[in-house]
Amino acid sequence: MKEVLQKPLITEKLTRLQEEGKYAFQVDKYASKADIKSAILERYPDVKVGKINTMIMPSKPKGRFTASGYVEGRKKVWKKAIVTLKEGEIDFFSEI
């Protein structure tokens, strides 16, 4: 299996959720909730995980105009995990 936590997701909506103690990550498509929990606890040892919600984000059509015409394609299917913490806080910006 690849690295379980691929990257944190930072959008306006997810930043508002961080105030409630919920953090979102792009995770490996085949990772289970137990795998995600152990990866969170390994990377952030000072937090306690409450619950984990996962969702498979569907493939979307994508295209662009080029000199040779219109090129059509699709975005990949990926998995998102929203982790609710019981205790502690994650600071994404100090890791950069």
Give the whole-angstrom CA distance, residue 78 versus residue 27: 8
Inform me whether the pLDDT recorded for 16 exceeds 90.
yes
For residues 28 and 2, the answer to whether their CB atoms sit within 8 Å is yes
Phi, psi for residue 39 in degrees, rounded to 5: -70, -40
The pLDDT of residue 33:
97
* pTM (whole model) above 0.95: no
Domains and CATH numbers, the chain: 5-89 (3.30.70.330)
Question: Span 30-36, mean pLDDT?
Answer: 96
Q: Output the furthest CA–CA distance in the chain (Å, rounded).
A: 55
Q: Is 20 exposed, middle or buried (0-12, 13-18, 19+ CB in 10 A)?
A: exposed
